[in-house]
Amino acid sequence: MRLAARGMIAASLIACTAPAFAEQSQPAIESAMVLKAGTPVPLETLGEVSSKTHKQGDRFELAVSEDILVNGQVVIPRNARAIGEIAEHRAKGAFGRAGRLEIMLLHVEVAGRRIRLDGTMGDNGRDSAVPAIATGIIVAGVLGATIRGKHATLPAGTRITGYVHRDLTLAPAP
């Protein structure tokens, strides 16, 4: 009987300590951070992007304008480099046609890793056709080809918000 009692005591001690081990391993699982898809990433253009100087397919640089945190830890630091691309380009044209730019965000670079971003933005220059029409059809026909619209321009410092493309599991901080 004494042996049975000792066995039951040992079994109950093991049962009591088992949850403690599970609880100790639990925080390790929770310390893995996940950067969720759709997390907004505020960006700013580093230089001017214009339909005058950029063409479709050209890439340009942006910078993250504020730290992105997960569980209180910075996972994308302020000033991290990001890349965008001109998705659509139309130069200004005759008869007051405005230039057009549409950009798409590609990725942000953090510690040698690229984090894909979603997001687009467009800009149209200003049309200048209204003065040509106001002066009459004959004048517009003769001089209209010399009236030009404005280039589409995103000045340096233009704010654009990108969004994390998909969930990313990040290594826990050491």
Q: Using one digit for the tens of pLDDT, what is the confidence trace for 23-37? A: 343 444 456 789 999
Q: What is the mean pLDDT of residues 78-82?
A: 98
- Among 77-81, 144-148, 154-158, 166-170, whose mean pLDDT is lowest? 144-148
Tell me what pLDDT residue 89 has.
72
First to last CA, the chain: 51
Q: Which of 102, 103, 97, 101 is nearest to 150 (CA)?
A: 97
Q: Which of 28-37, 51-60, 99-108, 160-169 has the lowest mean pLDDT?
A: 28-37
Sign, CA dihedral 14-20-22-28, equals negative
- Cα separation, 39 vs 126, whole angstroms: 33
* Amino acid letter for position 99: G
